[in-house]
């Protein structure tokens, strides 16, 4: 249906640069908006072409195949064994399982937009309930420079905490906020929050505080990193 | 509807079978007599969906079936062993965390994985560039390809040759546009600046190049 000079032609000719990640982040975001606005026929044609490019490059990847160091496999399998972060699909599914009513009431927020899933499903009572019920419950709150506040309610006895973020602006597209528990010389990922998860309020359970003394926030690409690589946006002392 | 770029079909399936062959090959067994044979026909899409339900065994199998492709592509983009290892690790960690969002209707599992990996590699190249830490090597138009291809058991040599032949079939400008955009992480605007070509030319060369590759490789 698309003619060479139809209004959609300039959108379609950007499908290849889009599929090859050859647009700036701003251009990409603008383009995605224009494709949606152009209607389903144009969007279908656009994403058909994107898909074809990506399938082609998947085949091309065979020509550069190079065996990674064997140690990488060992590290990865160890990393996933300990990894409790689960980024849910964009379409909401099953996202209220662990967020106990007690925690929501105690903090006075709704459970909207939770982008984290902590494994295994919360036993009874939930981690959040245990934290709030703990004799040594502490609360630390700090302003995020970009806007909003982060509050951690935690218990050393329970070795866990609940993080609440209010009115924090969402991370830039293609990035997430990642939380890090920092102890003497060690930095451990405590989960990520994507744009959908951040607004307007977010909670996350921090399992296994260990001997961490700080909770730090960085901006990381994709779904997060194995160690902090992006800018530090805030730090809360867990003392 | 103009379906000039239909979904990849048999060609990708064929490639996946080869990948699968490699997954059950013990590296360095030194024997050419007994050809590796798949124990079972592993479907990457099925594996990826199992990873989405936190199946660590499926994750290991998916890693083994795809690691040389992912690491090879990432290495070609980053051209630094340390960065490439870190990025590859982050890619597979992201796979573990986001596999649930994989939708088979949007393409093959292999394309999903390599798209994710390429995105991260490009992000890393651009971040290093922005941080001024980019090595002078990144500036070279002609990339040094990794030479330590030890994965011929994984990816059949004939496939490597087929891709190389299809690349040779492109015009210099088409190939250069793809090299700069896909393997060096430049935006198409930067490609046009680098090549002193106008944007429309760069866009059409990229599109023609991809179409040529796709036809040559029999994707779709």
Domains, chain B, in order of start with CATH, read 1-145 (1.10.1740.10), 156-220 (1.10.10.10)
Nearest Cα residue to B121 out of B174, B85, B169: B85
Grouping H, G, I as helix, E, B as strand and the rest as coil, residue A8 is coil
Q: What is the mean pLDDT of chain B?
A: 77
State the Cα–Cα distance between residues B47 and B184, nearest whole angstrom: 30
DSSP letter for A116, please: B
Q: Specify burial of residue A149 (Cβ count, 10 A radius: 0-12, 13-18, 19+).
A: middle
Interchain pair B160, A24: CB under 8 A: no
State phi, psi for A106 to the nearest 5 degrees: -60, -35
Minimum CA–CA partner of B216 in chain A: A56
Asked which of A84-98, B25-39, B115-129, B193-207 is least confident by mean pLDDT, the reply is B25-39
Å between A213 CA and nearest CA of chain B: 25
Predicted confidence at residue B106, as pLDDT, reads 86
Interchain pair B8, A64: CB under 8 A: no
- CA B10, CA A238: separation in Å to the nearest integer? 56
- A67–B151 CB contact, under 8 Å: yes
pLDDT value, residue B21: 37
pLDDT of residue B7: 33
Instruction: List, in order of start, the domains of chain A with CATH numbers.
Output: 9-63 (1.10.10.1320), 84-237 (no CATH)
CA-based angle A32:A55:B112, to the nearest 5? 65
Minimal Cα–Cα distance from B217 to chain A, Å?
8
Give the residue-averaged pLDDT of B188-203: 96
CB contact under 8 A, A27 and B120: no
Interface of A with B in 68-87 (CB under 8 A): 68-69, 72-73, 75-77, 79-81, 83, 85-87
Q: What percent of chain A has pLDDT over 70?
A: 78
In this predicted structure, the answer to whether residue A201 has a pLDDT above a threshold of 90 is no
* A116-129 per-position pLDDT tens digit: 433 334 345 677 77
Contact between B95 and B153 (Cβ < 8 Å): no
Which tops the pLDDT comparison, B182 or A100? B182
CB contact under 8 A, A13 and B204: yes
- Give the whole-angstrom CA distance, residue A69 versus residue B74: 13
User: Edge-to-edge strands of the sheet including A149-155?
Assistant: A138-143, A149-155, A160-166, A201-207
Confidence of residue A84 (pLDDT cuts 50, 70, 90): low
Return the structure tokens found at A180. 């890090």
Mean pLDDT on A172-200 = 81
What is the pTM for the complete model shown? 0.61
For B9-33, the pLDDT digits (tens) are: 333 333 443 443 333 333 333 333 3
Mean per-residue pLDDT of chain A:
77
């Amino acid at each position: 249906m698309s003619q060479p000079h139809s209004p959609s032609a300039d959108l379609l000719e950007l499908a290849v640069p889009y599929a090859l990640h050859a647009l700036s982040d701003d251009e990409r975001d603008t383009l995605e908006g224009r494709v949606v606005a152009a209607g389903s026929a144009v969007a279908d044609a656009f994403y058909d072409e994107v898909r074809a490019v990506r399938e082609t490059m998947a085949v091309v990847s065979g020509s550069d195949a190079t065996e990674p160091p064997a140690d990488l496999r060992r590290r990865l399998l160890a990393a996933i064994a300990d990894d409790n972060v689960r980024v849910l699909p964009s379409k909401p599914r099953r996202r209220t399982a662990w967020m106990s009513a007690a925690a929501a009431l105690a903090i006075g927020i709704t459970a909207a937009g939770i982008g984290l899933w902590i494994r295994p499903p919360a036993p009874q009572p939930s981690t959040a309930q245990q934290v709030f019920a703990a004799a040594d419950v502490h609360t630390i709150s700090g302003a995020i420079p970009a806007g909003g506040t982060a509050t951690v309610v935690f218990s050393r006895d329970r070795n866990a905490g609940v993080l609440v973020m209010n009115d924090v602006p969402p991370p830039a597209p293609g990035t997430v906020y990642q939380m890090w528990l920092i102890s003497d010389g060690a930095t451990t990922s405590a989960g990520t929050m994507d744009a959908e998860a951040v607004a307007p309020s977010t909670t996350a359970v921090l399992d296994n505080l260990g001997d961490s003394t700080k909770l730090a926030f960085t901006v990381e690409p994709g779904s997060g990193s194995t160690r902090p690589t992006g800018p530090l946006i805030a730090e809360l002392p867990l003392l | 509807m103009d379906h000039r770029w239909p979904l990849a079909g048999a060609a990708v399936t064929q490639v996946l079978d080869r990948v699968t062959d490699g997954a059950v090959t013990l590296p360095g067994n030194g024997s050419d007599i007994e050809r590796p044979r798949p124990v079972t026909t592993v479907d990457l899409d099925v594996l990826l969906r199992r990873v989405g339900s936190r199946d660590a065994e499926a994750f290991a199998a998916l890693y083994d079936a795809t690691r040389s492709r992912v690491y090879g592509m990432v290495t070609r983009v980053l051209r630094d062993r340390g960065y490439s290892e870190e990025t590859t690790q982050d890619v597979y960690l992201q796979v573990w965390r986001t596999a649930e969002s994989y939708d088979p209707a949007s393409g093959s599992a292999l394309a999903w994985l390599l798209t994710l990996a390429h995105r991260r590699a490009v992000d890393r190249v651009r971040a290093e560039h922005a941080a001024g830490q980019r090595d002078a090597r990144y500036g070279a138009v002609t990339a040094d390809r990794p030479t330590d291809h030890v994965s011929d058991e994984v990816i059949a040599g004939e496939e490597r040759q087929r891709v190389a032949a299809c690349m040779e079939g492109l015009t210099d400008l088409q190939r250069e546009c793809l090299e700069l955009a896909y393997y060096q992480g430049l935006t198409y605007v930067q490609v046009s600046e680098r090549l002193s070509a106008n944007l429309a030319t760069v866009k059409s060369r990229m599109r023609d190049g991809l179409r040529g590759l796709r036809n040559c490789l029999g994707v779709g």
